Amino acid sequence: MAHEPEDPSVQKELPRRTFLRNATLFAGTVAGLGGGLELLSRRPGAAAEGTLPGAVTPAARPLGPYDVKDPITPYAQATSYNNFYEFGIDKADPARMAGSLHTRPWTVRLDGEVRKPQTVDIDTLQSWFPLEDRIYRMRCVEGWSMVMPWLGFPLAALIRRMEPTSKAKYVQFTALYDPKQFPGQRGNVLDWPYVEGLRLDEALHPLAFMAVGLQGRVLPGQNGAPLRLAVPWKYGFKSIKSVVRITLTEKQPHTTWSLAAPDEYGFYANVNPAVDHPRWSQATERRIGDLGRRKTLPFNGYADQVAHLYTGLDLRRNF
């Protein structure tokens, strides 16, 4: 390399310094822009691993009368992709935050139009009924679905035990309100506590189920521990989680989502491929684990069992 007299005003005489500076600026810009865009846009989900060690696969047991034959959603996915706004609005929030929920001690208030209003400990409540397995489809209003092996007891058994009075027409469910345990409740994304409801005849249907376990394990926090509803012919948001109160009422309860967006989330919320959500079609759904979509079935495939509950009801208006 030829040595030339130094002149700091001429850039080309310091080729190495110029190169280094430009290379640094180049790398810095790539990292800054790329990293910034990543920070703005990336929302990594919990990795969809296989089944966790220790999980029980209910594949071996014979199918019960209410089960579906669909392949079961892997435990890792069923517990990492959840809507549970009490923990946060992102699908990954519930799994991340569920540690803040303490499910023991836990009591459930049973009241309203019943002969025996009472507050009962969750373990006592559970001991009242023989626990059974149910493999249910779960269809979210957002257009995705899972197949969930619940463990629990029929809601009808609990309601009969509450001894409804003749005035009881509806069942109102209330979820826990405790911003210390539910960080999502510190904002006002929804009107807390979360409230859901069923007509009494819907609640007494043998498919309506109270779950305390999932896939042979105690129900995880993100899936609604320690007690949640599972009404498989309705969109998922009807199946309220972390229930602390069950009240029989004379009037139709005001439910959280139907108050938040009455044009989008009705009281009935029966899975119905013929009635679109205002922002998307409900005709198809993605089963979690699939890349493509499948056709959504009326009443989520439970039409034979439940369609008679709605004869004479216009399901376009009563969506």
Partner 1 sequence: MKAAVRPPLAWLGPAVVIGGLLPVAVLLLDARTGALGANPVQRALLQTGVLTLATLVLSLGCTPLRRLTGWTWPARIRKALGLIAFLYALLHFGIYLFDQGFTLQTVLDDVLKRPFITAGFGALVLLLPLALTSFRGSVRRLGFARWTALHRLVYLAAGLGVLHYWWGVKKDHTEPLIYALLVAALLIVRVVLARRAGGRRPASATRLGASSERPPSA
Residues forming the annotated binding site for Mo-molybdopterin? Answer: 82, 85-86, 140, 223, 228, 239-241
Residue type, 275: V
| Binding-site member from 13, 17, 20, 49 for partner 1 (CB under 8 A) | 49
Min CB(41)–partner 1 separation in Å: 4
Alpha helices in 132-211 (DSSP H): 155-162, 200-203
Does 274 help bind partner 1 (rule: CB under 8 A)?
no
Could you tell me which of 102, 156, 166, 149 has the C-alpha nearest to residue 128? Answer: 156
Does 142 help bind partner 1 (rule: CB under 8 A)?
yes
| Binding-site member from 67, 289, 310, 315 for partner 1 (CB under 8 A) | 289
| Binding-site member from 180, 276, 313, 318 for partner 1 (CB under 8 A) | 276
Question: Given the complex with partner 1, which of 19 and 128 has the nearer CB atom?
Answer: 19
Does 55 help bind partner 1 (rule: CB under 8 A)?
no
In this structure, the number of other CB atoms found within 10 A of the CB of residue 164 comes to 18
Min CB(109)–partner 1 separation in Å: 27
Could you tell me which of 213, 110, 207 has the C-alpha nearest to residue 164? Answer: 110
Burial class from Cβ neighbours inside 10 Å (0-12, 13-18, 19+) for residue 3 reads exposed
Q: How far is it, in rounded angstroms, from Cα 105 to Cα 83? A: 24
Does 281 help bind partner 1 (rule: CB under 8 A)?
yes
- Say how many residues touch partner 1, by CB under 8 A: 53
Q: Quick check: bond before 179 cis, omega within 30?
A: no
Burial class from Cβ neighbours inside 10 Å (0-12, 13-18, 19+) for residue 238 reads buried
Could you tell me which of 253, 229, 251 has the C-alpha nearest to residue 148? Answer: 229
Contact 152, 125 (CB under 8 A): no
> 246: which strand partners?
110, 173
| Binding-site member from 13, 17, 20, 25 for partner 1 (CB under 8 A) | 25
In this structure, the number of other CB atoms found within 10 A of the CB of residue 270 comes to 25
Does 41 help bind partner 1 (rule: CB under 8 A)?
yes
Task: Tokens for 16, please give them.
Answer: 């190495």
Q: 3-state class of 166 per DSSP?
A: coil
Does 18 help bind partner 1 (rule: CB under 8 A)?
yes
| Binding-site member from 286, 297, 307, 309 for partner 1 (CB under 8 A) | 286
| Binding-site member from 13, 17, 20, 45 for partner 1 (CB under 8 A) | 45
Single out the segment in contact with partner 1 by CB under 8 A; choices: 44-52, 101-109, 218-226, 297-305: 44-52
Site for partner 1 in 88-107 (CB under 8 A): 89, 91-92
| Binding-site member from 72, 75, 84, 85 for partner 1 (CB under 8 A) | 85
The residues that touch partner 1, with contacts defined as CB under 8 A, are: 9, 11, 18, 22-23, 25-27, 29-35, 37-38, 40-49, 77, 80-81, 85, 89, 91-92, 142, 144, 187, 189-190, 260, 276, 278-281, 283-284, 286, 288-289, 291-293
